[in-house]
Structures are given as C-alpha cells and as structure tokens.
Structure 1
Amino acid sequence: MLRTQIAKASLPLIARRQFAATSRIMAAGDTGSGSSRPGGAASGDVWTGREKGNEDMWIRAEEQAKLKALSEKVKNAQKHMEELQGYMYDGPAPPSKSFKGHTDPTSSKDLTREENESSEKK
C-alpha cells in the first residue's frame, strides 16, 4: 500500500486529475445524423448533397478524360493502319473485285464484239 501511495505522490497534479467530461459521439437519432428525415440517413443534409454533387462532377470529368484519351488512341491506330496499307500497296494498284485478268488494250480478250469482228474480216 505504501508503494501505491508513493507512486501517486510522485505524479504531477495534472496527471492525477480525473475528467468528468467525455467526448461526444453521435448516435442514431441525434441531431445532424439524418435519421429523423423522411429519406432516412441516406438523404443527408445540404452539405451531404453538395459533397455528393462534387463527387459526381469529379467522376464525370475523369470519365470524359478517359474517353478522350481512348478516342485519341483509336485515331492514332487508324492513322497507323492507313500508313501500313500505303506500304502494302505502294507498287502497282491494289487488286479490285472487277479485275478480269489482262489490262492490255490490244489483247483479244478486252476487245468488244465489233472490234473483234472487224479484226477477223481483215
């Protein structure tokens, strides 16, 4: 017992003082908690609505920035594809669907019927 009395006496007065006041903690139903409103705690107050609005605006701006970056990537990819296609068909013209073989105008296959008959008479 003497030991405890000596330990108490060695502590400063402020350290031995006991406080009767406790910190306030909000519970359901307290003022400002929002549970007394018709929408419940989810409806919140003006500040809650403002904060939600700010968060929604920030999220929308972030999504817009991501969509813009994505559209730039798509444009760059399309330009790259066009450049690669230009390398593929740099020489002769690319084959078309209506390509029938010879393109020589003197070839007998390309002559019309009238020209073909006139060449046979000669």
Structure 2
Amino acid sequence: MVEGVQRRRVEAGERYDVFHTDCPARDVVDHVTSRWGIWVLISLRSNDLRFYELRKSIQGVSEKMLAQTLRALVRDGLVWREVEPTTPPQVTYGLTEFGREVGEPLTVLFDRITQRLSPSGAEYV
C-alpha cells in the first residue's frame, strides 16, 4: 500500500466505498459538490445552454473555473458537450441521463432551501 493511499478493488455488483481515497466514485462526488459543479447541474436542469449562456446564468463564475468544472463533469459522464463547426465554434452543454439523475436531488434541495427563505433571505420561515 502506498503511504496515505488506501487501495481496494471493487468486485462486480459491489458498491464503491467512497471513504477510500482511491475510490472512483469519490472523484465524481467531489466534482458534483464542488463550488461550481452544483450550479452547473442546476442551471442545466431545464434546458441545454451554450457556454456563455451558462456563464451568464451562474453569476460570479470565471470562464476558467466554468471550463474546468465542465471538463470534469463531461469526463464523469454527467454533462454532454456538442461543438458546432462554425467560426467561432459554438459549444452547447446539457445533462446526460446520469446528470439528470444526480441533479434531481440537488434541485429538490435547492428548491427546498429557496422556498424556506424569508423575503429578506436572512431567516428561514
């Protein structure tokens, strides 16, 4: 065993142990729950968006961080990416079936929080 790294093989049909540092599911959880990952999944829940539409919908995210977040979510199979061969290229993003499944509880959580906030946003009702 490498120092500081826990290694364990997962057999077919067995669940991943996300408490092990080398668990592949742990990376996906980290990407989904990252500062911008949640907002990307929530923003794409209703419709597909181009990069700049997505950036505009998530106020405060830089182009660099949005690009990094999207790359990770595409690699994890949560988001799909389509490039239209125009000049300049137009890139559209949307949720995969897996992304919709993962995003659904996040949407419920988001809706629950926003519905419980008072109009001032300082207290819960």
Q: TM-score, normalized by length of structure 2?
A: 0.23
When Rg is computed on C-alpha atoms for both structures, the one with the higher figure is: 1
Query: Normalising by structure 1, what TM-score?
Result: 0.23
Considering fraction of residues, name the structure with more helix. 1
Flag the structure with more relative contact order, 1 or 2, with Cα contacts below 8 A and sequence separation at least 6. Answer: 2
